[in-house]
Amino acid sequence: MSLRANLTLLLICAAMPAQVTEKPLNNTDIANMLKAGLPEGTVVLAIQRAVAHGNNDFDASTQGLLELKNAGATEPVLNFVLSAPRVERYEPSTTVPGLPVWHGLYSQSTAGWSALDPVVLFPDVENRWKTNWKTLGALEHARENRRYVVPGRQARVHVAGPRPALYLRGQRPGRGWLVVRLTPQTDHRELIATIPDVFSREPRMRFASGAPVGLDPAITADDVVTLRPTADLTPGEYLVFKFVSDQSWLIEGYAFEVGTT
């Protein structure tokens, strides 16, 4: 199966509620993915994502590896489990009353806490080249268009207000998150990004739906960061996102909708 198909399967898995997907990935999860017939590349990518987030709890003992082997794990899968760093377990803070303990991004309303839909997005890419005819074989300009697709026409979680407070829970909550508007289509939402010149010294990415809005981070606890948009969000579909480290094509994020009230 192709890399794109593998990543599509991972995206579907990542789009499940955070209470399921954001708990530490362990040997049982890997065995279940293998028994369900997920491709090797998808399983490896899931392991890599968990390790990158410090969200793994693997048993790399001889017995643990043998059980994975019996479940259908290939050599690359076993090697990734064996080489994954041990994650120091931590007790989730209780600074924010009622905040769910699983890693993820949450909003609060009078009805309680809601987990925003987590996604990992791989783009369809179109490149347009302009040749420099003065230098044989040289390229003067290259324009890259990326199309990221978020499943479903509407987010599951609706938040109120133009500058909602979002709570990022994790053992080491990251920074550098932005929020950008998504464009609804018949059965999905999409994000169109363009790099006008990929060969420029500092390539810049532009989004068809408008410039991303910054998120002002405030450390609420050792494992919680509160994020607030630095500008008002009008009603519509949005994505809190950042690019995956060392894989600049991949976007990880959380989808939500800003309501009219």
pTM of the model: 0.67
Q: What is the pLDDT of residue 140?
A: 56
User: CB of 254 within 8 A of CB of 116?
Assistant: yes
Distance (Å, rounded) from C-alpha 20 to C-alpha 223? 19
Q: What is the pLDDT of residue 18?
A: 36
Q: Could you identify the residue written with the tokens 């949450």?
A: 106
Q: What is the pLDDT of residue 22?
A: 59
CA-based nearest residue to 46, from 59, 67, 31, 61? 31
Q: What is the pLDDT of residue 15?
A: 39
Torsion sign across C-alpha atoms 214, 216, 220, 222: positive
- Counting Cα atoms < 13 Å in the Cβ hemisphere of 216 gives 8
User: DSSP character for 212?
Assistant: P
pLDDT in tens, 135-165: 545 555 688 999 999 999 999 999 999 999 9
Residues of the chain with pLDDT under 70: 1-22, 89-90, 129-141, 171-174, 261
Q: What is the pLDDT of residue 23?
A: 79
User: DSSP character for 71?
Assistant: T
Q: What is the pLDDT of residue 9?
A: 42
pLDDT in tens, 75-100: 999 999 999 888 776 688 999 999 99
